[in-house]
Chain A
């Protein structure tokens, strides 16, 4: 109730008038009432009533917060956070080495950034994740939907069909091998059509459309509450050209990052961004570094860098709060993103006969 007038979310002109008239706290405003307010400041009675309603809403919000309602605040003990984190799901990538270095897969409520040179497999991984997020829980997935925001136009529907078909086949093999009730029931809803109809695709042609889309995303996610993955393929592309004002670019990017963090937290979804590489010319050599500058590096929680080593694709975990840095090789096959098969592999006689690169199922651990 002791809130200062200057901090209320009213129109600036109105606020200036209130301060000039000598009002200092919200309490005083509420005591005066709309008629008195309109006479003193010289605004209409309706405007005064509106302003008072805003003030009342603010104060009410303040009161519930200070009364200790922990649902409204964002404070909780580290123990509660630990329990939450442990219960959280991961989105697997079908490449067990990559899942291992990430600590289980792409984490929900965190922003993961994938950087790499063109052609190394960033969009492939994004498409794989958009399919993997929909895997039912009994197979070890999070059973969510996906939002795919494309700025580069490299999304190929046929490729997603291939990846989705391979994923469905894989789940079918497991179901046949284990013959459990819920597995078979889940398989009925997990088909090619359902996978494709739960990937929501937006094509943004420039940075304004991207900004607009991110502003509208919270509303979209409240309508589609099952979304667990937001992919922005090519966050660098619209910002790298046509921007003379670098400070504006940094500001817009930071704003974007903030909004994505809020989205990730509020809706418990993973946000995956792909970034391009740029050359930094040093004293004697030039190195490839992720684009968009140093300040953008703070936006993502987890950073993966994909690069080539002769003809082998490698993925390096560059930044992560809980895992250590390491590099693993990976493969892109007609089924999607997979491990590199070691030269001499001893195959199990059972269900892994078709594809020995599968990772062990999570339900066995439970």
Chain B
């Protein structure tokens, strides 16, 4: 929304021409300037500039919804609100399971079973909705190379022996889990940015990143000056993109 070109904000052609001479082409550039600067740049009077500001703001402001509308929308499809983890006590504490549409973070000391939990969630997500799954593909971004396909099949076979009785079903399940091995912060970020199209084309219903901390700690030594800011920058940017994806597609991350 921020990168929306001014031309599409319904400003007049000559105004856009004039603004692009000052390198102001997107709504972001326009709104970052103060009123006096805008007057100088557009050559218009104070009141006209205020009207322009309103126009541009309307082009990139978010839509209003009352909470009542949101509630009605949610109650229309209630089943897709959570991904049950099949651990009853955990589901009870989480009010149904891993929530769809928001980020969930799993932390623990090493060896407690985070990767195992992630593998199990991937199996659960590929199950049909009648069995409590999401009936969709899974994107698994692995930074520690800890994902083992054999373990995946073992879990699937022993947990749901009646469902995965044939090789064909196992094959189907494993081919809907897309694994990406990324080893640096840069590639992880690039991968996250490119996820939008993949989610739509592959009908992804779950995104797992295992793990965020390992790749960040490898690359950024917090004792060095300036690294703290860069690290937080990277994390915040990744987090905002992931939040957007989770909300937009209503999938758990």
Contacts and interface: CB of A to CB of B under 8 A. Distances in A.
A299 interface: no
B213 interface: no
Contact of B27 (A153, A193, A212, A248): A212
A87 interface: no
Contact of A201 (B39, B56, B66): B66
Contact of B1 (A196, A205, A241): A205
A202 B67 CA distance: 10
Given A212-B27, A216-B54, A241-B233, A157 B74 contact: yes
Interface string A186-200: 000000010011111
Given A153-B243, A206-B1, A12 B40 contact: yes
B31 to A, nearest CB: 5
B67 A199 contact: yes
The main secondary structure of chain B at its interface with chain A is helix
Nearest to B241: A205
A216 B58 contact: yes
Interface in A1-36: 9-14
Given A196-B67, A240-B232, A241-B237, A208 B62 contact: no
Interface in B211-247: 232-233, 235-237, 240, 243-244, 247
A161 interface: yes
B64 A196 contact: no
A233 to B, nearest CB: 13
Contact of B240 (A12, A241, A255): A241
B91 interface: no
Contact of B62 (A10, A154, A205): A205
B74 A215 contact: no
A148 B32 CA distance: 23
A206 B26 CA distance: 14
B68 interface: yes
A13 B45 CA distance: 10
Contacts, number: 120
A54 B1 CA distance: 34
Given A12-B43, A54-B45, A206-B240, A157 B67 contact: yes
Interface residues of A, number: 45
Nearest to B65: A201
Interface in B54-90: 54, 56-71, 74
Contact of B66 (A200, A206, A252): A200
Nearest to B73: A157
Q: How many of chain B's residues touch chain A, expressed as a range?
A: 35 or more
Interface in A286-331: none
B153 interface: no
Contacts of B54: 215-216, 219
Interface centre among B1, B45, B237 (most CB of A within 10 A): B45
Nearest to B95: A158
Contacts of B244: 205
Contacts of A204: 62
A157 B70 contact: yes
A3 to B, nearest CB: 14
- 6 closest residue pairs by CB, A with B: A241-B236, A9-B46, A208-B2, A212-B57, A196-B68, A197-B68
24 contacts: A9-B47, A10-B46, A11-B44, A11-B45, A12-B39, A12-B40, A54-B47, A153-B102, A200-B66, A202-B62, A205-B1, A209-B1, A209-B60, A209-B62, A212-B27, A212-B59, A213-B62, A216-B54, A216-B57, A241-B232, A241-B236, A241-B237, A241-B240, A248-B32
Given A153-B247, A241-B236, 9 more contacts: A11-B44, A161-B71, A200-B66, A206-B1, A207-B2, A208-B31, A211-B32, A212-B27, A241-B237
